[in-house]
């Protein structure tokens, strides 16, 4: 649920699950919730991992200069107010920050990763023992992450584990099932937005056609005078189209800038309204979406002005000059 929690079950499940067909790698984790700390606005989720078996966090640490998570060191989430090299305190126990995660807009932003050896140091804290009940902590875990063998789907492995240990009242989840709620909300939002985009596009295109038609009709005398000064139909047509493209480009740029600005200002509100985390777009993704919007804007302006420009280019000069008299 993305909320800090403390939960345990017996470590014996690590050995039991290791023997299940289709299991490639297996690694336990321990979840401990903190009290409010100076480094954070709310409670923090402490997540203990086993560096020897972990295949979720360790690969990322390797990309950070082949970093090894030593005893007493932690990796903090983006929203934890601490810099690399500084110390953070939980349950009156100090830990050194070895690395800091980028923003994920998920619970990891308020999480702290450490090794099991580091987490066991909390057993020496009276405050931790009073709140976490760490008796026999070395035999406790909170979650077991399993990597399926190549060619063995996670869904099939989940069914296999559920079947083998059906009488033990355990739950097996794949990564997809854990995020199914978010995926459903995103799919629903995408469907609604697609319909809205089509409606807005049609309405905008019709409005632009009407505006260009009215504007060009009011300028017929101007075009007639240009004809008498030596301009030909092709030049008039090109002039109108270029004007439309310039207007479309300026409008597209303003639209992209305003939209991106509003998203940055209201991204948290958007996430709360739809019940999903707001995932930030990279610069490349923003550039790609902006390019598509600009292309649609330019094409719409071209199509909207094409008919009026073509009609004007075929009119006789004297007709255009007398049109508005």
Gap between the Cα atoms of 244 and 117, Å rounded: 67
Residue 104 CB neighbours (<10 A): 15
Q: For 277-319, how does the pLDDT look when each residue is reduced to its tens digit (9 = 90+)?
A: 555 667 788 888 888 888 888 888 888 888 778 877 777 766 7
Q: Residue 254: what pLDDT?
A: 92
Q: What is the distance between the alpha carbons of residues 245 and 222, in angstroms, rounded to a whole number?
A: 20
DSSP 49-113: E-TTT-SSSHHHHHHTTS----TTEEEE-TTS---TT-EEEETTEEEEEEEEPPP-SSGGGGEEE
- The continuous run of DSSP H or E covering 250 comes out as helix 233-274
CA 5 to each of CA 49, 80, 122: distance values in angstroms, whole numbers, following the listed order:
16, 17, 16
C-alpha 31/C-alpha 20 separation (Å) is: 24
pLDDT at 36: 63
Strands (E), the chain: 9-10, 23-33, 45-49, 73-76, 87-90, 93-100, 111-115, 140-141, 143-148
Q: Cα(164)–Cα(166) distance, rounded to whole angstroms?
A: 6
CA separation (Å) from 16 to 25, 143, 149?
A: 13, 14, 17
- What are the sequence ranges of the domains in the chain? 9-178, 181-323
What is the phi-psi region of residue 34: left when phi exceeds 0, alpha when psi lies from -120 to 50, beta otherwise? beta
Question: CA–CA distance from 312 to each of 42, 84, 87, 223 (Å)?
Answer: 67, 67, 74, 8
CA distance 100 to 64: 10
pLDDT of residue 13: 76
What is the pLDDT, as a whole number, of residue 62? 77
Please, which residues bridge with residue 152 across strands?
Answer: none
Q: Which pLDDT tens digit goes with each residue over 263-274?
A: 888 777 776 665
Mean pLDDT, contiguous 10-residue spans, the chain (325 residues): 71 79 87 69 80 83 75 85 84 86 75 87 76 72 85 82 77 70 69 84 84 81 81 84 88 89 78 60 81 87 82 73 61
Cα separation, 44 vs 97, in Å, equals: 15
Which contacts (CB < 8 Å, 24+ apart) does range 149-157 have? 149/22, 149/23, 149/24, 150/24, 152/22, 152/24, 156/22, 157/20, 157/22, 157/23
């Amino acid at each position: 649920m993305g909320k800090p929690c403390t939960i345990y079950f017996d470590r014996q499940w690590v050995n039991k699950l290791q023997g299940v067909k289709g299991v490639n790698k297996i690694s336990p984790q321990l979840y401990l919730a903190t009290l409010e700390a100076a480094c954070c606005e709310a409670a923090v989720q402490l997540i203990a991992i086993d560096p020897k078996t972990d295949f979720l966090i360790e690969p990322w640490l390797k990309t950070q200069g082949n970093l090894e998570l030593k005893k007493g060191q932690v990796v903090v989430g983006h929203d934890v107010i601490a810099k690399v090299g500084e110390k953070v305190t939980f349950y009156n126990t100090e830990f050194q920050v070895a690395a800091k995660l980028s923003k994920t807009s998920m619970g990891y932003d308020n999480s702290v990763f450490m090794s099991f050896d580091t987490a066991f140091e909390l057993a020496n804290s009276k405050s931790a023992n009073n709140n976490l009940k760490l008796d026999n902590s070395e035999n406790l875990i909170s979650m077991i992450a399993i990597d399926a063998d190549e060619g063995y789907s996670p869904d099939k492995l989940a069914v296999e584990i559920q079947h083998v240990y059906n009488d033990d009242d355990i739950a097996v989840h794949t990564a997809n099932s854990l995020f199914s709620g978010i995926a459903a909300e995103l799919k629903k939002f995408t469907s609604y937005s697609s319909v809205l985009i089509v409606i807005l596009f049609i309405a905008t295109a019709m409005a632009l056609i009407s505006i260009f038609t009215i504007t060009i009709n009011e300028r017929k005398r101007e075009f007639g005078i240009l004809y008498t000064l030596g301009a030909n139909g092709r030049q008039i047509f090109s002039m109108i189209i270029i004007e439309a493209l310039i207007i479309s480009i300026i409008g597209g740029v303003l639209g992209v800038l305003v939209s991106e600005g509003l998203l940055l200002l209201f991204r948290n509100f958007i996430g709360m309204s739809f019940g999903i985390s707001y995932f930030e777009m990279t610069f490349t993704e923003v550039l790609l979406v902006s390019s598509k919007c600009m292309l649609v804007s330019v094409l719409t302006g071209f199509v909207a002005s094409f008919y009026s420009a073509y009609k004007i280019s075929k009119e006789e000069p004297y007709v255009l000059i007398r049109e508005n008299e």
